[in-house]
Structure 1
Amino acid sequence: MFILRNCHLIFCVFLGIFQSCYVYANSADELWEQYKSEGAINSNLPDFSHAGFFLRDNQNDSAEWDVYNILEFGAIPDDNEDDHHAIQQAIDSASNNGGGIVFIPEGKYQISGGAKEGTIKISSSNIILKGEIKDGKNASVIYLKNPSNGQELGLLGESTTDLRSIAALAIEGEANDFVLTTFDNLDYPRGSRIISVNDTSNIRPNQNIRIRLTDPLIDTENPSKDNIDLVKLLTHPFDYSDEEIKTFGQYGKNVEYITKVRRVIDDSNIELYQPLRFDHLSRYSPTILKFEGISNVGVENLTFESAWQGQYVHHQPFPIDAVDESSIIRTVTEQDYGWVAIWGIWIADSWINNVVLDNFTQNIIVSNSAFIDVQNLQLKGSGGHAGLTYSSAYNILTTDIKFEGRYAHPVSIRAWTSGCVFSDLNIVDSAFNDFDRTGPFIDFHGLFPYENLFEKMRGFYVHSGGDSDVMPHSGVRNTLWNIESPEVIDRFPYASNELFNTAATSRSNMYKYYPSSFVVGVYGKNNLQLKINSSSEDRADDFMIINNLNSRDIPFQSLYEKQLEHSKSNFPMPPQSPILLE
């Protein structure tokens, strides 16, 4: 229920074992002061300060690394012949010697693609794939000749044989379900950092770990919307119907994420850098597993191009008016998923920097990964299905991105993704195209991605895809801060100027598919008056906290930078040297 008291909204909820009365702030200033004094507890703003390459200030000086020039392994630029064997040999040689810089000099290098053996793969730590810069521009080009011929297509992150893994470049670590310890002896509210575990012998400072929780009520054989616990906590107050069967069934049973240990206090207590993003109750059987992925991998100063002919229309073959299979030139699968630039799975403490992606239907896909910098990208060419796609991805920092191509999902997150920050993103064409279904969309694609930050973005608004059985689009406390929408929002004629859009429900329920969101300083270009559920008023209700709507007047431009400054002062790196586990 809501109680108006001293011009603040107080909302009492009963979830888990914690009954909390949350005092909602009336302004962005109050939101910040609440966070600064109390931390990321109760209904306060999430903590986004740990996004990105966590040890960037302590990483090895790559200037001292051995260099493996692909020309010395047989690559020949600009000859229209396949070079992937030479590039792969250079990567393998660096890997066999503990790592190094694989240097790709000026020129265009062709890789055949099609199958896994025709693409480039990094599968060990300490590898930097680095191109040459000439006259201030990327002079090294990796050119993908053929689309993926894979057949498997499922939930991103479930399999390394997914057809989208047959990319120009695949960066792949390995999964490992080895249990390090558990902490199922106590209940921990959101915001906790110190946890008591059964054993710390396998835990070290700065170690990446996986935490898995299990919803005790979900029966995957006979799922029911009335039997959910953890799922309800992460999507409150979304009202489930029988349609969302995969959310409260096969995919909702386990929730997992990757985080990092700050210090080992003693033989039964550890401290995490990132405060817990939601209540971790003992009945969820919290378990800490080993993170086996690769780290310290970099992709720099490269342009990726492909032979794809484009002419993309969302979920349609080419041509779209083909009357039978014999007249189809490019299948739906190829048009949607067949041309991928970079695929990454089970990666941490790594980066992609100064990369041009030209003419791909899927540009970058990252899953089961954490603490990555993705920065200074240009996406161009024919446009296509998706720009940046993160699935089961955690604490990825994405900055300085320019979208010149048109995509159905320019920015897409899904499947428990959390802690990711998107800052300084700009899109050239901010109009919705009714023919190919592309547009300037922030896409929450289902299975409740929660506590992610979108800030300092120009030309975007929220419109999400995803099947009805994995709704709601998002989980709790996703945050939109300092975003300029286009001057026209017309994805649906019946929802003009609405900030939150979806085809999953009626206009009056659209915003409910983004539960417990924060909206601060979001405004329309050329004074467009944005609406959320037909209203332009600031307010707090059980679905959203909205401050400074249609206003540029906010206390600071970047929530991420403000939180980072605060975090460095209050939770600095421990004095010991960083440890990256192999």
Structure 2
Amino acid sequence: MKSTNLIKHKITKISLILSLLIVGSVSGQTQSKVFDAYKKDKTTLPDFSYVGYHNGEQDIPSINTYKIFNVVDYGAIPNDDVSDKIAIQKTIDAANKNGSGVVFFPKGRFLVNEDNDATNSIISKSSKIIFRGSGSGKDGTELYMKNPLPPADPAKMWTVPPIFIFGSGGNDKKIGEVTTSAVVGSRLISVNTTANLKAGDWIILKLLDNSKELAAAELKSYKVEPEWTYLYNKGIDVKVYHQIQKVENNALTLVTPITYNIDPKYKWEVLKFANSEEVGIEDLAFVGNWQDKFVHHRSWKDDSGFTMLRISRSTNSWLKNCRFTDCSVAAIVTQSANVSVISCVIDGNAGHEAICSNGATNVLIANCTDLASQWHSFGSSHGAMNTVIWKSTYPATTSFESHASQPRNTLLDNVEGGLMNGRGGGALENMPNHMQGLVMWNYKQTNAAEKDFEFWPDSRRFKWWKIPNPVIVGFTSAGTTFIQEQLGQGESLDKTVEPKSLYEAQLKLRLKKLPKWFLDLK
């Protein structure tokens, strides 16, 4: 009995010591003052909590109720050295005509652009289409692109179309204009007409205005340079995609809050968005035939010859568990909203771009890995708004993409890889690389340290890297330092902070608990 009591006493003592150690460890962690300020005033940081499929609130579904359209039934045969391009398009067309469907690929290699194939993309334009393989590993499904598609203009090295395009039919239609002011965080806007709009519709809030006052308000202490001809001549360009929750008189209640202050004197337009919904691409390998050593801007083949996938005009859609091998460009999400890109890998020979939100809203790129070291890795460009890159990695030999043309609100959250100013991207006329709202949260830099890394270098020294007032919280490196005056906010620039993930913390703060999909992925 005494022996039992002694054992219980020792266990209790050990438990107490462990508890004290845990408490001490937690109390020793750096709690972010920036996040504490955000909890009191939501304007101190962009709100990224609405990013992803159905605003991060729902699991990506495992669709098993749609009709199956097996590509083999339409003439595709794996591993037979005969092109399957026509058969794949026929399968997609049948699913589109049905109004929904799973375009299914068994295991094996399917050929999508052989020597005698027509030089066109494979296209789907409908909602509720699932493009599904039998796994993205070597023993799964490979879609092999032997030859590049031709560029629309060989002098414009970015004009090669993707081999696969998932989009929508129809055109956007102007409805009216916003009539009263609305601030970031509001979900109510007043318009001069709500004709033909109803709950569930998607709209575009659009601004293009050359007001010098508007540009100055966004760039703050920085000046627009004459060489930036788009911003200098055309002005501030914003296109944000929203779903309507309610229509009442001439007021629209939006599902998600607005992300840019609206002043009606700048003639904000409202357009009805032509889009597809619930499109999924999953469990496939997209394999190109890019074998040369990549040279940036050497040729159209380098920059876009093997462009694999474009998700366009799609809402509440996803790309998951896919591999992209030997490609110029892996995947671009453009003119879309609330798309989740989950657990994808880029490998093989290095090319131009990894996965990017290009002019889209609320795109999540999560748990993705760039093993190829694309010249531009994961990132945002061309007016993208609210992009989250979470728990993703790329080599020390590359950096995130920030491809100019006014992207805003990009979060690099628990990202690991290089940090260098030569990998942002964008033509001089479309600078800066990014507008307000770039946030780096617990970023781990893996390339060599740099003293006084600049986000806004003097153009006499370097013209192609300009990001105003980034927020850097919880940065780890081999000793990189920053010029404090160039940061919007800077905190804990030599160690990580709590909360470990800003996206996670904001999501939990809004929903009160973390959704199942997030916990499973985490």
Partners of 1:74 and 1:303 in 2: how far apart?
20
Task: Output the CA distance in 1 between the equivalents of 2:155 and 2:382.
Answer: 12
Q: Which residue in 1 is equivalent to 2:15? A: none
| Aligned with 2:160 (options 160, 164, 176) | 164
Counterpart selection for 1:562 from 474, 491, 505: 505
Match of 2:185 among 177, 186, 191: 191
What's the CA shift for 1:244?
Answer: 1.2
Say which structure is richer in strand: 1
Task: Output the CA distance in 2 between the equivalents of 1:424 and 1:59.
Answer: 18
Aligned positions of 1:36-47 closer than 5 A: 36-39=39-42, 41=43, 44-47=44-47
- Asked whether 1:243 is paired with 2:227, we answer yes
Q: Give the Å deviation of 1:559.
A: 0.7
Q: 1:344 to 1:99 in 2, by over 3 A?
A: same
* Cα distance change on mapping 1:285 and 1:345 into 2, 3 Å: same
- Cα distance in 1 for residues equivalent to 2:50 and 2:349: 35
Q: Which of 33, 38, 56 is the matching residue for 1:35? A: 38
What are the within-5 Å matches in structure 2 for residues 323-362 of structure 1? 332-362=299-329
Matching of residue 182 in structure 1 with residue 149 in structure 2: no
Q: Counterparts in 2 of 1:51-450, with a 5 A limit?
A: 51-54=51-54, 57=58, 62-112=63-113, 118-133=120-135, 139-152=140-153, 163-165=159-161, 167-174=162-169, 176-184=171-179, 186-215=180-209, 218=210, 228-250=212-234, 252=235, 254-264=237-247, 266-316=248-298, 332-427=299-394, 429-430=395-396, 439-450=397-408
After TM superposition, the runs of 4+ consecutive aligned structure 1 residues lying more than 6 A away are 58-61, 113-116, 153-156, 507-511
Aligned amino acid, residue 404 of structure 2: G
Aligned partner of residue 72 in structure 1, secondary structure? helix
Paired positions, count: 481
Show CA shifts across 1:81-139 (max 9, x none). 100111111111111111100100001000116887544211111111100139x7660
Residue 516, structure 1, aligned to residue 512, structure 2: no
Distance 1:285 1:116 in 2: 44
Counterpart of 1:124, as a letter, is S
Shift in Å at residue 152 of structure 1?
3.3
- Structure 1 residue matching 2:46: 3-state secondary structure: coil
TM-score normalized by the length of structure 1: 0.77
Give the match's secondary structure for 1:277.
coil
1:355, distance to aligned residue in structure 2 (A)? 0.3
State the match for 1:479 in structure 2: 439
SS at match of 2:459: coil
Preserved CA contact (<8 Å) 1:501 1:510: no
Range 186-195 or range 100-109, more displaced: 186-195
Quote the Cα distance in structure 2 between the aligned partners of 1:155 and 1:233.
Answer: 33
1:394: Cα distance to partner?
A: 1.2
Q: 1:399 to 1:504 in 2, by over 3 A?
A: farther
The whole-number CA distance in structure 2 between the counterparts of 1:180 and 1:516 is 35
> C-alpha separation between the residues in 2 aligned to 1:566 and 1:462?
33
- The code of the aligned residue for 1:522 comes to F
Q: Do 2:404 and 2:433's aligned partners in 1 also have CA atoms closer than 8 Å?
A: yes
Q: Give the whole-Å Cα distance in 2 for the aligned partners of 1:206 and 1:35.
A: 30
Higher helix fraction (1 or 2): 2
- How far has the Cα of 1:503 moved from its partner? 8.0
CA distance in 2, matches of 1:155, 1:293: 28
- 1:440-519 to structure 2, matched below 5 A, reads 440-463=398-421, 464-489=424-449, 496-500=450-454, 505=459, 513-519=466-472
Give the alignment's TM-score, normalised by structure 2: 0.85
Q: Secondary structure at the match of 1:48?
A: coil
What is the rounded CA distance, in whole Å, between the counterparts of 2:293 and 2:62 in structure 1? 44
Describe the shift of the 1:510–1:149 C-alpha distance in structure 2 as closer, same or farther (beyond 3 A): closer
Report the identity percentage: 24
Amino acid at match of 2:130: I
SS at 1:314 equivalent: coil
Asked if the contact 2:455–2:468 (Cα under 8 Å) also holds between the matched residues in 1, the reply is no
1:510 positional shift? 9.1
TM-align CA RMSD: 2.8
Per the alignment, in what secondary structure is the counterpart of residue 101 of structure 1?
strand
How far apart in 1 are the matches of 2:192 and 2:59? 31
Could you tell me which runs of 5 or more consecutive residues in structure 2 were left unpaired when the two chains were aligned.
1-29, 516-522
Secondary structure of the residue aligned to 2:48 is: coil
For structure 1, list consecutive stretches of 5 or more residues without a partner in the other structure.
Answer: 1-26, 157-161, 219-226, 317-331, 431-438, 490-495, 534-538, 573-582
Once the two structures are TM-superposed, the CA of residue 191 in structure 1 deviates from its matched residue by 2.6
